[in-house]
Amino acid sequence: MTQPTTTPHRTLNLSRRQTLALLGAGIANPLPLFAQTGTAWPAIEAKARGQTVYFNAWAGSEQINAYLQWAGAQVQSRYGVKLEHVKISDTAEVVKRVRAEKAAGKLTDGTVDLIWINGENFLNMKREAMLFGPFAESLPSFQYVDVAGKPTTRLDFSEPVEGMEAPWGMAQLTFFADRKRVPNPPRSMAALLDFAKANPGRITYPRPPNFHGTTFVKQALVELNGDRAALYRPATPEALAKAGAPLWAYLDALHPHLWRAGKQFPQNSAAMRQMMSDGELLIALTFNPNEAANEIAAKRLADSVYSYQLTSGTLGNTHFLAIPFNAKAKEGAQVLANFLLSPEAQARKADIAQWGDPTVLAVDKLPATERARFAGAALPGQVEQVMPTIPEPHGSWVDPLEREWLKRYGA
C-alpha cells in the first residue's frame, strides 16, 4: 500500500457504469461529517502531551522508516507526543493481536495505538467493533482532504469509512518497463496475454496472497467482467463463481507463458523490480505510481525506465490510519494522525526524495503558502499519462479470491 512535488496522483474518474455499480451497492453518496465525542481539539492536544503512540506500520522501506523518524521528531518537539514505530510485515497480524486482546478483556490498555491499514483488515476491524471513533473528520487537517476528487478517502475497498480511519495516501496499480527493451508495452490485460505469448518467460506477477499479486488478479477480475456491480457488494459463493469464471480462464491461458511457466512466482514486487532491472523480466508492477521515479533517483533503475497504466484504468485506493478501540494513547494517536494529514507532512511524504506517496489533499484548494510545498518539476520514471482509477472491489472479495488462486495455482 503506497506514494507531489509534481505528483502523478489522479482524482477518481468513474465511468457511468462504475458509478451506477457503486450507487447500486449503496456507497457512492458522500458521507456526512462525523464528529468525535465532542471533545474540543485543544483538550485532545493537552491530554496527548506526554503520551507514547505505538504506531504499527509496515517497515519494508528505508524511505518510509526515515519519514516516520522525521514525523516522530516533529510531534515530539511540537506536541510532546512520542512516536514508537512498531515495525511490522503483515497488518493482519496486528488485527489478530487486537482481536486477542478484546477476547481477553483487555479493553483499555491495548498494545496498539495507531495502525497503517486498509482493505480487508479495516473491514474485519470495523465489523468486529475493534476501532475507536468516529474521529477522522474531526481532525483539524481533514479540512484539506480531497473528498470530492478522491472518493476513496471515504471508501475503503468499497466499504464506507464512516470516520473510523483517517486517509493518509493514495495508490494506483502501475506498470513500468525499460524503454530500450519495451518501447510499446501492453496496455490491457488482453494485450498482456498476447505480449506474454510473444515473450515467453519474461512476464510474471507476485504470488498471492502478496498484496501486489492479489492486486494483479483483481485487475484481471475487473477488466474481464463487463458488469462489475457484484464486485462492489459483499462477496458470495455465487458471485465469485460467476465473476471468477473469466478470470480463471484468463489465468489458465496466461500462466504457461509466464516466468518459469507459471509454476513459480516472485514473492513480492521488490523481487520483480530487481528481475526487471537485471533484464530477466520485461515488465514490473507497483502500487506506488512514483516507485520507478524513486528507484531512478536512487540509481537502482536505469533512467530509460518509464511508468504507465492500462488504457481503461487500473485499480486504486487510499491507505489509512486507524485507532484500535482499546488504544491507551487515543489522544496522542489523533494528534499524530492530524500531523501526518497536514500539508507539511503530506508534501514531504509526496516528495520523491523522501517517499513519493501521492497526497490525499486537494492541493489546488490549499492556501498559497501550503500549495507551494507541492511545487516541483516532473522527474524521470513518473507516470507520463495518468489513467482513470478503478475502485477496488469490496474488501470481502480478497480472501476467497486468494484461497481459490492458491487452490488452483499454489501447489
Contacts of 293 (CB under 8 A, 6+ apart): 307, 352, 356, 379, 380, 381, 382
314-322 vs 389-391, strand pairing mode: parallel
pLDDT 10s per residue in the chain (411 long)?
333 222 333 333 344 334 433 433 333 333 333 344 567 999 999 999 999 999 999 987 888 999 999 999 999 999 999 999 999 989 999 999 999 999 999 999 999 999 999 999 999 999 999 999 999 999 999 999 999 989 899 999 989 999 999 999 999 999 999 999 999 999 999 999 999 999 999 999 999 999 999 999 999 999 999 999 999 999 999 999 999 999 999 999 999 999 999 999 999 999 999 999 999 999 999 999 999 998 998 899 999 999 999 999 999 999 999 999 999 999 999 999 999 999 999 999 999 889 989 999 999 999 999 999 998 777 899 998 889 889 899 999 999 999 999 999 997
Burial of 291 (0-12, 13-18, 19+ CB in 10 A): buried
> Which residues on neighbouring strands pair with residue 145, listed in sequence order?
361
Q: How far apart are CA 21 and CA 284, in angstroms?
A: 30
Phi-psi region of 299 (alpha: psi -120 to 50; beta: other; left: phi over 0): left
Q: How far apart are CA 242 and CA 313, in angstroms?
A: 22
**Structural domains of the chain, with CATH:** 16-170+318-375 (3.40.190.10), 174-315+391-409 (3.40.190.10)
Residue (of 237, 231, 250) closest to 315 by Cα position: 231
DSSP state of 261: G
Indicate the angle between helix axes 343-350 and 62-79, nearest 10 degrees.
Answer: 160
Residue (of 262, 277, 291, 253) closest to 203 by Cα position: 262
| SS3 of residue 389 by DSSP | strand
What pLDDT score was predicted for residue 38? 63
Q: How far apart are CA 187 and CA 175, in angstroms?
A: 9
pTM across the whole model: 0.81
Q: With contact defined as beta carbons under 8 Å apart, do 265 and 203 qualify?
A: no
Q: 145: which 3 cell numbers?
A: 482532504
